[in-house]
Structure 1
Amino acid sequence: MTVSPTDTPLVEMRRIEKSYGRVQALHDVNLTIRRGEIVGLLGDNGAGKSTLIKVLSGAVPYTSGEIRIKGKPVTMTSTNDAIEAGIETIYQDSALVPQLSIARNLFLGRELTTGSLGRLDLNRMNEVAADLLKRVGISKNIPPTTPIGSLSGGERQAVAIARAMYFDSDLIVLDEPTNNLGVAETQGVLRFVREARDTGHSCIFIAHNIHHVFQVVDRMVVMRRGTVVADDLSPKTSSIQDVEDVITGDHILV
């Protein structure tokens, strides 16, 4: 039987291993992300979630295993490799330049230009930035020319999320995107995740707040001690208590 392109998973991570000396951070990890799917990646601190995401984003090398994007094997040696493969990762501590404006941070390294001389199109970048800030729930009228350094921690996180919204990536990885955000900003992020799915994009959503996860994901993957212990938990058939029990090991799936 011929597999159509739409049946091919967007991302496949197969038998991924990662060691730091004698410490086994990831052991025989398999993860599949389908097109248009929102997957919650859950687990206690030290479960391996961040390491797995850093491997997928090209931030750290993996010891062994295979990564496939749209059915084709790829080698992630840098974050640029991941970006070129259509993967945009927003970390909890996403690097922003305090001295630069909101708009300049949103387009850092991918600035819009105008004219034959390639001058920065500041007006266009400011317009896009203002619109994106509203979409992620920043209700205050903050000018896009405002330096990042003058924003609150929650507002900075919202700017990092807005940056991912603009660039048309196939997979957007959100590492604790609602951490330190207010109610309006949190709802803006969750709304963005839903919009991403509706437009055919995929997301990996990492959060300690399971209530936020349940609001947006199609499926939940749970990691514990560097391996995947459950990969098909549904918010429609599992309760928050069920998922918490799997995370802590109080409930073993059979």
Structure 2
Amino acid sequence: MSTTAEVPALSNSGGNVPLIELKDVGKQYGNIIALKGINLRVGAGEVTGVLGDNGAGKSTLIKIIAGLHQQSEGELLVDGEPTTFHSPKEALGKGIATVYQDLAVVALMPVWRNFFLGQELRKGGLIKSLDANAMRATTLSELSKMGIELPDVDAPIGSLSGGQRQCVAIARAIFFGARVLILDEPTAALGVKQSGMVLRYITAAKEQGFGVIFITHNPHHAYMVGDHFVLLNRGRQKLDAKYDDISLEELTKEMAGGDELETLTHELRR
């Protein structure tokens, strides 16, 4: 554990190997094809937006990269090396942390207890006790580094806004060694102001050199922070574009179904 996260190497776009790369990855559950032919690159200091509606395959993709499931075909490379994860612990060991939409927090516990939940600092000799002061100070310091100013880390985390809780979870992942952050729909249940807080935090993580996989169904949010966009549709990869190669209007149209949306609009306006 380190209080200062190491900044990863530059991404492939800068001439170096991506932190994470998927090559023709597929996943089958019996006769059901959940993913097929997925190619994805996650560079340091970059946000890769993975978009898609419900049932597009986003959750399956998360589980493969996070070590919950193994792909049925294709390759998962970490720092250019073919890798197979057998558990989330192995993925964490490689610096890949997932912040799920339903945050694993204990609402009535203070912010600092949740920050160190399961990895508490202790002090003393044979009979060790929790080092509450050190954990409070570290929590304040780590949140402050990313621009989160909480007046009281002794407040129950359940009293924070949804955006603040998301930011605490991301800061925690970074503190405990993450190089790649997988964010599962972090703005889905948030209002405009709270979504803005999370998006600013994502940008701050990118600027510090972390690789971010931003899972979302909101093209506007993805386009605000993304450097690269992958669109999934029924387990297939429908789009793979860099920020400079696609406009928000085009991304939104692709996300909404393109020609299908135009047909629907024409029908509704008749």
Contact 1:135-1:188 within 8 A present in 2 as well: no
Q: Match of 1:239?
A: 247
Matched, 1:127 2:137: yes
Shift of 1:192: 2.0
Q: Is the 2:66–2:97 Cα contact (8 Å) retained in structure 1?
A: yes
1:9 is matched with which residue: 18, 39, 54?
18
1:103 is matched with: 112
The partner residue of 1:52 within 54, 61, 66 is: 61
Q: Give how far 1:33 is off.
A: 1.4
Please state if 1:250 is matched with 2:250.
no
1:76 pairs with one of 55, 78, 85: 85
One of 200, 212, 230 as aligned partner of 1:203: 212
Instruction: Find the partner of 1:27 among 36, 45, 68.
Output: 36
Residues 1:98 and 1:116: Cα distance change in structure 2 (over 3 Å): same
Matched to 1:60, the amino acid is: H
Q: What is the CA-CA distance between 1:58 and the residue it aligns to?
A: 0.9
CA–CA distance in structure 1, aligned partners of residues 123 and 64 of structure 2: 36
State how far apart, in whole Å, the 2-side matches of 1:151 and 1:191 are.
17
Judge conservation of contact 1:98–1:148 (CA < 8 Å) in 2: yes
Conservation of the 8 A alpha-carbon contact between 1:101 and 1:144? yes
Which digits, 9 at most, give the CA deviation of each residue in 1:95-116, with x for residues without a partner?
A: 1223432211111222233455
Q: 1:155 to 1:196 in 2, by over 3 A?
A: closer
Q: Greater CA radius of gyration, 1 or 2?
A: 2
Return the TM-score normalized by structure 2.
Answer: 0.80
> What is the CA distance between 1:153 and its match in structure 2?
4.4
1:156-171 superposed matches below 5 A: 156-171=165-180
Question: Superposition pairs for residues 187-226 of structure 1, below 5 Å?
Answer: 187-226=196-235
Structure 1 unaligned blocks of 5 or more? none
* C-alpha distance in structure 2 between counterparts of 1:150 and 1:203, whole Å: 27
* Counterparts of 1:20 and 1:226, CA distance in 2: 12
Counterpart residue type for residue 137 of structure 2: E
Structure 1 length normalisation: TM-score? 0.84
1:85 matches 2:85: no
State the match for 2:46 in structure 1: 37
Listed one character per residue, the Cα deviations across residues 205-239 of structure 1 (whole Å, up to 9, x for unaligned) are 122222221111111111111011211242x4422
8 Å CA contact 1:155–1:181 kept in 2: the answer is: no
Go from structure 1 to structure 2 and tell me whether the alpha carbon gap of 1:156 and 1:128 turns closer, same or farther (over 3 Å shift).
same
**Cα offset, 1:87, TM superposition:** 0.5
Aligned residues of 2:51 and 2:218 also touching (Cα < 8 A): no
Asked if 1:65 corresponds to 2:74, the answer is yes
Counterpart-to-counterpart distance in 2, 1:20 and 1:216: 33
SS of corresponding position for 1:13: strand
Does 1:178 find its partner at 2:187?
yes
Contact 2:36 2:235 in 1 (8 A): yes
Give the drift of 1:6: 5.8
